A and B are shown apart, each in its own frame.
Chain A
């Protein structure tokens, strides 16, 4: 009977080792959270940069309009600034349509940025998710261990009451290994499932991230870069206009103002370039997140670079005065 009990345990141990091997294989699917954290942080940081610049440009647009039309006659102001209500599509559009559309696009940009931020945050939270809390894991491990021990010792007791004391201590150790592995195995099952969902989400959403990135790149060229160029031209013309009639001191002031305007514009265009390189790199970095799943040693350089670029973008946006206001 003692032999039979030992055989029972040997068989059990073999199964436990097999389960352990399966568990170790499943462990390869573990999610590496760092790239997800960096991806999310870059989206948050870049968003702050682009929204600051875009908001300032919209503000500048309204200020420029104010400055330009303050010098016009009442009829012109009435004609240009009075809104025309189009009841068919519920849009209020005046003759200064462009400024209205830029403001509307700025607001849409903020909305899609918010959703993209929510997406990146979800990916990060999902990668970091531990379905079992510490207390749940402890309870799972302890309870499984205790209960398997309790149940199996009863089985041993039923087999031969004379071996209870000898077997109980040895079996306690073996059962502990078995229960620990079961808990690990279950954890790995959850992690594997988690990794599978992340891979599928990144795969499915790649086209959305491509489109998002293209939309922002279009926005940078169509509104931010275009507005910087147009504002520069208008501002340069206004600043230089009085040069011929100015005295030496006046000319000096005008030249200094033109230099300041040039410096501001160069910085603003540099900022546009940084924004462009950030959003152009975003889709590849998103695709690289997939590689990070299940590969703890892989360095996801694109994601890391993206975060650095976003930090640079935010710093530049904070230190660059986009508003090309009158220097006169």
Chain B
């Protein structure tokens, strides 16, 4: 499996574990809500057991989430550099086109000089 697929699976796992933790909350509340006095001690023990499991699950999920976030931050920094390079290239291309326009204006000025020269030389040419 390539790195991209592993990365996608890890993110899916974080979300699945978070959803599972939510379901565990519901199960814990069910047990804690028990009102039958004979069942309360058993249900309390079950709720405690489930709560400990949930804490462990949340802790492990957070650790996994942190690992993925560390990589996300590193990758985002690399992406930043790539976008900066692309933006620089566009700026350079824009400058080149503007240089062309400037060259055209220079050509007009050259033509004007030639025209002036011809005016001066006119009497001699005729």
Contacts and interface: CB of A to CB of B under 8 A. Distances in A.
Interface of A: 97-98, 101-102, 104-105, 108-109, 111-112, 115-116, 118-119, 122-123, 125-126, 129, 131-132, 136, 139-140, 143-144, 147-148, 150-151, 154, 157-158, 161, 186, 189-190, 193-194, 197, 201, 204-205, 208, 211-212, 215, 218-219, 221-223, 225-226, 229-230, 232-233, 236-237, 240, 243-244
Nearest to A125: B94
Given A230-B18, A237-B29, A222 B76 contact: no
Nearest to A240: B29
B84 to A, nearest CB: 6
Contacts of A240: 29
A143 B112 contact: yes
Given A139-B108, A201-B89, A126 B94 contact: yes
A161 B89 CA distance: 56
B104 interface: yes
Contact of B25 (A205, A218, A237): A237
Contacts of B97: 129, 131, 190, 193-194, 197
A147 B21 contact: no
A144 B108 contact: yes
Contact of B76 (A112, A229, A243): A112
B73 A157 contact: no
Interface in B59-73: 62, 65-66, 68-70, 72-73
- List the 6 shortest-distance A-B pairs measured between CB atoms, nearest first: A131-B101, A233-B22, A197-B93, A115-B83, A147-B111, A101-B69
B86 interface: yes
Contacts of A215: 72, 75-76, 79
A197 B96 CA distance: 10
A211 B100 contact: no
Contacts of A243: 33
A112 B80 contact: yes
Contacts of A154: 118, 122, 125
B87 interface: yes
B66 A98 contact: yes
B118 A244 contact: no
Given A109-B76, A189-B100, A221-B12, 16 more contacts: A97-B62, A98-B65, A98-B66, A111-B80, A112-B79, A115-B83, A136-B101, A144-B111, A190-B97, A193-B96, A201-B86, A201-B90, A211-B75, A215-B75, A221-B14, A237-B29
B45 interface: no
B66 A147 contact: no
Contact of B114 (A144, A151, A190): A151
A151 B72 CA distance: 66
Contacts of B108: 139-140, 143-144, 147
A149 to B, nearest CB: 10
13 contacts: A105-B72, A108-B73, A122-B87, A126-B94, A131-B98, A190-B101, A208-B83, A212-B79, A215-B76, A222-B11, A226-B18, A237-B28, A244-B33
B126 interface: yes
B100 A105 contact: no
Contacts of A186: 104
Given A205-B86, A208-B86, A226 B15 contact: yes
A190 B11 contact: no
A118 B68 contact: no
